Structure 1
Amino acid sequence: MIFQPATPLSGVAGLRFLERTQATQQETFDKSPVIARNVANFHEKIGSILTAEELVADRQLLSVALGAFGLDDEIDKKFFIRKILEEGTENNDALAMRFTDPRYRRFSAAFGFGSSLGPRTGEPDFAQRITDAYKTRQFEIAVGNNDTNLRLAMGFKREISEIVASEASDETKWFQILGSEPIRAVFDGGFGLPTQFKLIDIDKQVETLQERTGKLFGSSSPSVFANSENVDALLNRFLARAEAESGPSGNTPGFAALSLLQNASSFGASARINLILSNG
Structure 2
Amino acid sequence: MVNTYLSYQLITRDLAKSIDRVEAQPGVQRDTAYYLANIGKVKSIDDFLKDDRLYRYAMKAHGLEAMSYAKAFIKKALTEGVSDPNSFANKLTDKRYAEFVKSFNFAAMGEMTTVYTKAQHEAVSNYLNQVSLEGGNPQSKAVQDESNYYLANISKVKSIDEFMANDRLYAFAMKAYGIESSIDNKEMMRKVLEGGIRDPNSFANSMIDRKYATFAAAFDFEANGENATTYNPAQQPAVAKYMRQTLEEDAGVQNEGVRLALYFERKAPGINNFYDILADPALAKVVRTALGLPDSFAASDIDRQAKLFDEKLNIDDFTDPEKLGKFLTRFTSLWEVSNSTSSQPSIAILYQPVELGISTNTLLAIQQMKR
Please indicate the TM-score interval, normalised by the length of the shorter structure: 0.7 to 0.9
Residue 115 of structure 1 aligns to a residue whose secondary structure is helix
Mean Cα deviation higher: 76-85 or 114-123? 114-123
> In structure 2, what is the equivalent of residue 144 of structure 1?
252
Name the residue aligned to 1:206: 306
| Match of residue 262 from structure 2 | 154
Cα 1:201–1:50, aligned 2, differ >3 Å: closer, same or farther? farther
Distance in 1 (alpha carbons) for counterparts of 2:300 and 2:113: 40
Gaps of 5+ in 2: 117-229, 344-371
Q: Is the contact between residue 42 and residue 111 of structure 2 (CA under 8 Å) also seen in structure 1?
A: no
User: Following the alignment from structure 1 to structure 2, what is the Cα–Cα distance between the partners of residues 200 and 45?
Assistant: 48
Q: Residues of 1 paired with 2:73 and 2:107: CA distance?
A: 14
Q: Using a 3 Å threshold, how does the CA distance of structure 1 residues 68 and 193 change in structure 2: closer, same or farther?
A: same
Q: Shift of residue 185 of structure 1?
A: 2.1
1:227 aligns with 2:344: no
Cα pair 2:58 2:242 within 8 Å, conserved: yes
Name 2:339's counterpart in structure 1.
Answer: 246
Identity within the alignment, %:
25
Q: Give 1:39 shift.
A: 0.7
Q: Quick check: 1:100 aligned with 2:93?
A: yes
CA-CA distance at 1:150 after TM superposition: 0.6
> How many Å separate the matches in 2 of 1:110 and 1:16?
31
CA distance in 1, matches of 2:107, 2:311: 39
RMSD of aligned C-alpha atoms?
A: 2.3
Match of 2:138 in 1: none
1:69 aligns with 2:62: yes
1:179 maps to 2:279: yes
Q: Is the 8 A contact 2:285 2:295 kept in 1?
A: no
How many residues were matched structurally? 228
2:294 aligned with 1:188, yes or no? no
Q: C-alpha separation between the residues in 2 aligned to 1:103 and 1:223?
A: 23
Amino acid at match of 2:282: P
Counterpart CA distance in 1 for 2:89 and 2:112 is 16
TM superposition shift of 1:117: 7.9
AA of the residue aligned to 2:307: E
- Asked if residue 129 in structure 1 is aligned to residue 241 in structure 2, the reply is no
* Structure 2 Cα separation of the partners of residues 232 and 30 of structure 1: 25
**Mapping 1:109-128, distance limit 5 Å:** 109-115=102-108, 120-123=113-116, 124-126=230-232, 127-128=235-236
Q: CA deviation at 1:93?
A: 1.8
Residues 190, 238 of structure 1: 8 Å contact kept: yes
State the Cα distance separating 1:60 from its structure 2 match. Answer: 0.8
TM-score scaled to structure 2, two decimals?
A: 0.56
The aligned residue for residue 60 of structure 1 is 53
Query: Within the alignment, does 1:237 sit opposite 2:330 as a pair?
Result: yes
Q: In structure 2, what residue type is equivalent to 1:231?
A: L
**Structure 1: which 5+ runs fail to align?**
1-7, 165-169, 251-280
2:16 matched residue in structure 1: 23
Write the letter of the residue equivalent to 2:281.
Answer: E
- TM-superposed CA distance for 1:119, in Å, is 5.4
Structure 1 CA distance for aligned equivalents of residues 16 and 33 of structure 2: 20
Residue by residue, what CA displacement relative to the aligned partner does 1:59-113 show, whole Å, maximum 9, x if unpaired?
1111111111111111111111112222222222222222333212211112112
Bigger CA drift: 109-118 or 82-91? 109-118
- Output the amino acid matched with 1:131: V
Aligned to 2:162: none
Instruction: Read off the aligned partner of 1:224 and give its amino acid letter.
Output: D
Q: 1:88 aligned to 2:196?
A: no
